[in-house]
Amino acid sequence: MAAVLVFAALPTRGALEATVGDRQSTVTLVAHFAEFIVLGMLVLAAARRDRGAREALTRAVAVGVAVALGTELLQAALPWRSFEVRDLVLDLLGLAVGLALVSRRGAGARAARGRRG
C-alpha cells in the first residue's frame, strides 16, 4: 500500500513524457490496473491468514476501495496531479481481478484438500 501511495503523490508527468512520450496515457492506465491487481492479491492473502474466507474478502475489498479512493483524493489535493474517475475505475477493476485470482486459487486448494481428505 505504501508503494501505491508514494507513486500517487509523485509528480510523474515529466518522467513519463521523457520515457514513453505519446504512450503516457496508455502506460498510466496499465499501471493503475496492474498495481491494484497486485494490491488486491496481497491484501486478500494477508487477510486470509487469520480470518475466514468471507471476512477476509470483505476486509480486502474495504481496504482496496479505500486505497483506490484515497489515492485519487490525495491527487486532487496536489497541484501536479489530478483526480481522474477513469483511474479510479481501473483501480477498482484491477482490485477485482486480483481478489478473484486469489479467491480462485483458495477455492482450488480447498477442493483439492477435500478430495484428499
**Residues 57-106 pLDDT 10s:** 999 999 999 999 999 999 999 998 889 999 999 999 999 999 999 998 76
Q: Measuring CA to CA, which residue among 23, 21, 59, 31 is closest to residue 43?
A: 59
Higher-confidence position of 114 and 71: 71
Q: Whose grid coordinates read 509523485?
A: 10
**Domain boundary assignment for the chain:** 2-116
Give me the helix-helix angle, 85-116 and 53-77, nearest 10°.
160
- In this prediction, residues 4-26 reach a mean pLDDT of 72
